[in-house]
Structure 1
Amino acid sequence: MRIFTLIWFGQLVSLIGSGLTQFALGVWVYQNTGSVTQFALIYLFTILPSILLSPLVGVLVDRWNRRNCMILSDAGAGASTLAIALLLVIGKLEIWHIYLAVAISSIFNAFQWPAYAAATTMLVPKQHLGRASGMVQLAEATSRLLAPMLAGVLVVTIQIQGVILIDCVTFLVSLVTLLVVRFPEPKTTTDNEVKKSWRLQEFTYGWTYITARPGLLGLLIFFAVINFLTGVVSVLVTPLVLAFATANVLGTVLSIGGSGMLVGGLVMSVWGGPKNRILGVFGFSLSGALSIILAGLRPAVPVFFAAAFIYYFGVSMINGCDQAIWQRKVAPTVQGRVFAVRSMLAFASLPLAYLIAGPLVDGVFEPLLAPHGLLAGSVGKLIGVGRGYGIAFLFVVVGILNMIAIAFGYLYQPLRRLNQQLPDAIADIV
């Protein structure tokens, strides 16, 4: 746990730095272009390369030392961030530079998550995996809480390029913590040994492993659907809040969301999550869906504050429960390949969400709730009419679709009874 905690601290610092850059660049792009679609493309290039490379990355993570994979990830992502800073300093930064830089960073980040998750299984006893997952969520929550507030102050005092240079320094902190530790390696057997040939089976092994276990497959499909729906919401939070408030309020909303995630991460770290973690996933997904509907029905600053806290508290609990399930149910020697496929398929729906969110708002939902729009006399009387209310209406639709997806997931018995029907793949450690 001491080694894990040291690595966790380095990742925490790096996450805060990345959060500073993400917030500063996001606001800069939206305010300079005024286009939801161009803003959403940043999200697309952040996620798409890592999804496409996941099958190859999974094989490499199982073959290579997982510590070295994380070092490679931090070094590459830090270099791409430094390139943005240099372009800003010389006054040559353009929108396509940002797309290219975040795409390169995404390639290196593809190694980070499966290596980090698989290494955690070897570092932390099984009975504490829920707490370790809570600590990971706590780190992300701390970034969400601190980064918007710090970025708002630092952009004014040291400019955007200064913020990004701070991000580069945080990558160095993460690298140092990785360089001073060693990771235990999983024991291989003849059944799950990683072969040295580049056969097709090595790239499809993760998919074969998951499909042979209906509960895990159901969990994967459930998250693919939920991620698509919440992906539409996540890319529209900034335009929605900015339609009704200032950038400072946006930073506060994101910080309150981060505080909700922080509290959720603390609860998960201490508690370890419910014994039946599948029910925890369903329950907190439902609370998230209700908070999305609330934000859409009453788009006002106090409502944004409450909805952000409730939603992100649930995110910590959902992700903590989900991570602990996969770490317990998948053999450590194959977790690189399985987790890479899991990441690829669970998040494969996000690029589509990011692509359609902007056109849906600009071409459909905002015109519907314009002052003389088609739904101005019906839905407009319930929600409101004018700039931003089309986005709010889309939030309501997405929240309802989330609830439908949760109902279908609960009715699928192999998923609902996953804890009981699928035995753990790792032994208890005394």
Structure 2
Amino acid sequence: MEKKHWFKTYIYIWVGQFVSLISSSAVNFAIIIWLSLEFKSAEVLAYAAIAALLPQAMIGPFAGVYIDRWDRKKVMIFADAFIATCTLLMTFTLRDGNIQLDLMYLLMVCRSLGSAFHQPAMQAIAPLIVPEDELLRVSGINQILQSVSSIAGPALGALAIANLPINQVLYLDVIGAAFAIISLLFISIPYIKSDSKASIHQVWRDLKLGFLAIHENKGLNRMFLYSIIATMGIMPVAIMFPLMTIEHFGGDKFEMSVIEIIWGIGMLIGGSLLSIFKVTYRKVLMLNCMHILLGLTFVLSGILPAKMFIIFVALTGFGGAAMSIFSAVFMTIIQEQIAPNMLGRVFSLYFSFAIIPSLIGLLFAGNIADSIGVANAFIIAGGLCILLGIVSFMTPSLMLLGENRNTEQVNS
């Protein structure tokens, strides 16, 4: 497969996704501020997160089967258009200060359905375009784009929510989706055609093949398992960052913005390191170390006294860097281990497997915050991450992952 002009192709993808990421980040942060200040409830934030994640988790594995069959460029275009349409409809639910949470949750569910197709398709196109020895560098650049959007997005979101009603702020997401769609129209992405028909029996068969691609690679399935367990503990805590800032450290809109921006700066640094320097040591070592580093930032944040907000800011930056490197390395290992025609369903299965257990934690997020406190929740989640990082170093199949990549790669 010809990959000589991969960088030129990815320039178009990066430009469109960059604008889309910034606008989405701005809108997401504006919604968080709005929900946090309007309701001051971890329960409301948890329900919003569930509405945004559960549908994606439920249909994700089936979406992955079709992503591997369909033209991935068209999948991304139609998914972006559908998500933008849902956002546009959401503006009417919040018009004139009329808060209809049930309808807002429903539209977030619809947006999640679109994301179930878009996110795995985006991850699955890289091996079709990029030479294998450049995959980690591309993942690093993707993390840079996400990082810059994490820095600029909250600043833009805070500015927007301070000057505009929430329903008008949502238009930013629609504009960003339009940019992403237009950029995709200028490029060509290889299309791996499937001769088999999309019957129910065949879909189940393809889904099973995707599961076996993970299960039969012992190192890979252990990596998935540990990441899923970590996500189950981290997800409830992740939505509590605004409450941690407000309740534990006595912050407000400005401090919330600072935390979001610093997290983005940390991610930017992590992604930049991967894109600038050629990584010569094994990726699995980086993966395990980032697990431990992220856990340490959570634990230390939880034990800080309320007057040490500036230390919380610094720890958040380190956490962002650890998360950026972890995500880039994790995705690259999957792209190296799994054949391109299987990536759509494998990424979809992972996203679903990671999300569904974490929703259990989200359901109890309000009770967790009320019963043990937000700070203690940070300590517990961080301790879990550290433990999993240590266990990863003690798992032989995981530590061998990547050493015999050519012989381990799974083919359908």
Give the TM-score taking structure 2 as reference length.
0.92
1:45 and 2:47 are equivalent in the alignment: no
Q: Secondary structure in 1 aligned to 2:190?
A: coil
Alignment match, 1:373: none
Alignment match, 1:270: 276
Between the aligned partners of 1:156 and 1:338, the Cα distance in structure 2 is 41
Question: Among the aligned pairs, what percent are the same residue?
Answer: 25
Report the CA distance shift for 1:90/1:159 in structure 2 as closer, same or farther (over 3 A). Answer: closer
Between the aligned partners of 1:12 and 1:275, the Cα distance in structure 2 is 29
1:207 and 2:190 are equivalent in the alignment: no
Q: Deviations over 1:266-300 (max 9, x none)?
A: 11122254531111011111111111111111143
Report the CA distance shift for 1:392/1:105 in structure 2 as closer, same or farther (over 3 A). Answer: same
Between the aligned partners of 2:147 and 2:362, the Cα distance in structure 1 is 22
Q: Secondary structure in 1 aligned to 2:200?
A: coil
Q: Secondary structure in 1 aligned to 2:406?
A: coil
Q: Secondary structure in 1 aligned to 2:30?
A: helix
Q: How does 1:405-416 map to 2 (within 5 A)?
A: 405-416=388-399
Alignment match, 2:80: 74
1:223 and 2:227 are equivalent in the alignment: yes
Matched to 1:229, the amino acid is: G
Matched to 1:400, the amino acid is: G
Alignment match, 1:240: 244
Q: Is the 8 A contact 2:27 2:169 kept in 1?
A: yes
Q: Mark the runs of 5 or more structure 1 residues left unpaired by the alignment.
A: 366-389
Alignment match, 2:355: 347
Alignment match, 1:197: 199
Q: Is the 8 A contact 1:15 1:140 kept in 2?
A: yes
Q: Secondary structure in 2 aligned to 1:303?
A: helix
1:30 deviates by 2.0
Alignment match, 2:162: 156
1:87 deviates by 2.8
Matched to 2:200, the amino acid is: W
Question: What RMSD in Å do the two structures reach over aligned CA positions?
Answer: 1.8
Matched to 1:306, the amino acid is: A
Q: Is the 8 A contact 1:224 1:348 kept in 2?
A: no
Report the CA distance shift for 1:279/1:39 in structure 2 as closer, same or farther (over 3 A). Answer: same
Deviates more, 1:272-281 or 1:324-333: 272-281
Q: Secondary structure in 2 aligned to 1:423?
A: helix
Q: Deviations over 1:309-336 (max 9, x none)?
A: 0000011100111111111110011111
Alignment match, 1:376: none
1:84 and 2:90 are equivalent in the alignment: yes
Q: How does 1:28-427 map to 2 (within 5 A)?
A: 28-186=34-192, 195-199=197-201, 200-243=204-247, 244-273=250-279, 275-298=281-304, 299=306, 300-362=308-370, 364-365=371-372, 390-423=373-406
1:183 deviates by 0.6
Q: Deviations over 1:96-147 (max 9, x none)?
A: 2221121110100111121111111111110100011111111211121111
Matched to 2:396, the amino acid is: Q
Between the aligned partners of 2:278 and 2:67, the Cα distance in structure 1 is 27
Alignment match, 1:5: 11
Between the aligned partners of 1:315 and 1:342, the Cα distance in structure 2 is 17
Deviates more, 1:33-42 or 1:105-114: 33-42
Give the TM-score taking structure 1 as reference length.
0.88
Between the aligned partners of 1:60 and 1:263, the Cα distance in structure 2 is 35
Matched to 2:275, the amino acid is: S
Q: Is the 8 A contact 2:69 2:193 kept in 1?
A: no
1:172 deviates by 0.4
Between the aligned partners of 1:401 and 1:319, the Cα distance in structure 2 is 18
Between the aligned partners of 1:404 and 1:91, the Cα distance in structure 2 is 46
Q: Is the 8 A contact 2:299 2:378 kept in 1?
A: yes
Between the aligned partners of 1:424 and 1:5, the Cα distance in structure 2 is 32
